[in-house]
Structure 1
Amino acid sequence: MRKTTLFTLVFSSLLILPAMAQLGKVWTDFQYYSVDLQNYLRSNVNETFRPLDIRTQGALSNYSGELNLPDPVSAGRQVRNDIIINSISGRYENNSAVNGAGVSNEVNRIVTRGAVVGVLGREGQIRVKTKLEDTERSIETIAQTIEDADSFLDKIKDQVCQIANTGGMANVANQTLCQSSIQQETTVKILQEQSKIVAENLAQTIQTNQSIQYSNLNLANISQQIEEANRARRVDSATEAARLLRTASQTDLFGREP
């Protein structure tokens, strides 16, 4: 009876081991990520949006939700509306509507870069490294626990199955326990392999997420380059128009007869 009870308890503990070895702390980990993002915004808003830094920081704060993440669409819309309503021109744009659209786009870009820093920045990489190390340790713990228990459990299983094979009505329960022990041993092996697959999926997900962040960063940079190129063309066009107007005025001034 003691052997049967011990056998059942050991196998039961192995079956729930993957659940006990969860990394957990997902909310805490996400909070660290959001703090990194907010720190990036606070450090870069002043330089990027001056003299609209106070308005922009206020919009980002007003539209930060329960996750402490800013809503770039709503924040950008608020800043754009403030610029248009108050007819605020920028360093490169006299048209407040164009200036508002440009600032709104920059809000989207700075939030994107903040998200990238939250994942790929120094603190973000420390969190990812810790998560991967904890995952590998969990897999090693599961494997070591099963390996340590294998020989002991095999002996118990053999004894139970030998008793069950002696025949007689009294051994019906032992036969059932023998079959159950074999099935449980197989299940534990399957769960061990599944835990490895889950760990591999986590690693692949992290790598995919990093690739997505690089793509987002590239898109933000491309967007900024296009906007700067368009601004340069508008400046060139305005300069050329002013030159032609000046030339036309001079021609008209000196070409007329008194």
Structure 2
Amino acid sequence: MRKTAFLTICFTFLVSLPAMARLGYIWTDFQNYAVDFQDYLTNNIDETVNPAGEGSFTAINNSTGALNLPNPIDVRQQVVQDVTDNSLSDIFENNPAVQGKLIGNEIERQLTRAATESYFGVKGQERLQIKLETVQNVIENIDREADEARENNQNILNQLAGLGQAATGQNFLGRLISNQTNLQLQINRQQSRMIAESLGQNIKQNQYLQYSNLNLANISQQVEEANNARRVDSAASVARLLRASSQSDLFGREENE
């Protein structure tokens, strides 16, 4: 029931947003990112955090803030508390305190993967493509308009020069205006290139950050799986030792008798 409500909220939020990601509309773009983030959690949390699936959805809903993103620290605290209070366990871990920490780790991994999916998923890449294409189109338009303005200014100067000495003042004024216009056009052109370059660098940095987060999540999962395997091996070794000790004691008693 709670999962259905969670899906309904996300879908309602999604249909209210424009489909196209336009350059400069950073709030709309972030809302789309948040919707993809929540969609990933909705589709994956229930399968990965058993037996605390329902409690995890509740924790995510309760900790979601104004940006439609959950507070990861608050989510972990609520999930760990829920697992401990309800003595939840599974076939790998029957200690609720340890189980709570394990599920908390998995929640954090899923939040990290949700962030990566929101950026590099199908919808995220479509939004990024639109932004990159828009930036390139803006640069091309500015270059074209700057060339046209330069040509128009040159035509005006040629016309003013053709008026002769009687229009010396006008000619001088025209040159000043033309020079100032050309200077402003050059500044605008360079600024647009700098902004585009800055956007590209920020995108690359974000990409590296998301991959780093994903790698850290994978490393964390591998370490946890290795720890689980060691616990199973240790328990099996203790069981074999106890069984061997019992048999040895039994044989010793039989010999004494």
5+ residue gaps, structure 2 = 1-21
Q: What is the alpha-carbon distance in structure 1 between the residues aligned to residue 53 and residue 157 of structure 2?
A: 72
Residue 207 in 1 paired to residue 207 in 2? no
- Per-residue CA deviations over 1:116-153 (Å, capped at 9, x if unaligned) read 00001111100100100011111111111122222112
Alignment match, 1:183: 180
Q: State the identity as a percent.
A: 45
Question: 1 CA distance for matches of 2:139 and 2:190?
Answer: 9
Please state how far the C-alpha of 1:87 moved relative to its aligned partner.
2.2
Counterpart CA distance in 2 for 1:35 and 1:65 is 13
Deviates more, 1:44-53 or 1:224-233: 44-53
Equivalent residue, structure 2, for 1:229: 226
* 8 Å CA contact 1:36, 1:118 repeated in 2: yes
Q: Residue 239 of structure 1: which of 236, 240, 243 is its match?
A: 236
Residue 46 of structure 1 contacts residue 53 of structure 1 at CA under 8 Å; is this kept in 2? yes
Inter-partner Cα distance in structure 1 for 2:162 and 2:231: 90
More displaced stretch, 57-66 vs 145-154? 145-154
Unaligned residue ranges in structure 1 (runs of 5+): 1-21
- Answer whether contact 1:117 1:124 (CA < 8 A) is retained: yes
What is the rounded CA distance, in whole Å, between the counterparts of 1:203 and 1:178 in structure 2? Answer: 37
Indicate if the aligned counterparts of 1:165 and 1:175 stay in contact, CA closer than 8 A: no
Instruction: Give TM-score scaled by structure 1 length.
Output: 0.83
Indicate the larger mover: 142-151 or 93-102: 142-151
Change beyond 3 A, Cα 1:217–1:161? farther
Are positions 1:82 and 2:79 aligned together?
A: no
Q: Which has the higher contact order (CA 8 A, sep 6+)?
A: 1
d(CA) in 2 for partners of 1:245 and 1:62?
Answer: 47
User: CA contact under 8 A between 2:157 and 2:171: conserved in structure 1?
Assistant: no
How many residues in Structure 1 have an aligned counterpart in Structure 2? 234
Residue 149 of structure 2 corresponds to residue 149 of structure 1: yes
2:30 corresponding residue in structure 1: 30
Q: Does the 8 A contact of 1:89 with 1:99 survive in 2?
A: yes
Partners of 1:209 and 1:63 lie apart in 2 by 24
Q: Does 1:57 align with 2:35?
A: no
Q: What do the CA deviations read for 1:234-257 (whole angstroms, capped 9, x no partner)?
A: 111111011111111121122113
Backbone CA RMSD of aligned residues: 2.2
Q: Name the SS for the 2:64 alignment partner.
A: coil
Q: Cα offset for 1:106? A: 0.6
- Give the whole-Å Cα distance in 2 for the aligned partners of 1:146 and 1:167: 27
The equivalent residue for 1:248 is: 245
Q: CA deviation at 1:223?
A: 0.3
8 Å CA contact retained: 1:34, 1:118: yes
Which deviates more, 147-156 or 54-63? 147-156
1:143-201 per-position Cα deviation (integer Å, ceiling 9, x unaligned): 11122222112222455578797698xx3x87456434312311211211221121122
Asked if the contact 2:80/2:101 (under 8 Å) is kept, the reply is yes
Q: Which amino acid aligns with 2:219?
A: I
Give the match for residue 123 of structure 1: 123
Equivalent residues in 2 for 1:101-120, closer than 5 Å: 101-120=101-120
TM normalised by structure 2 equals 0.83
- Residue equivalent to 1:71: 71
- Change beyond 3 A, Cα 1:66–1:149: same
Tell whether the 8 Å contact from 1:160 to 1:177 is kept in structure 2 after alignment: yes
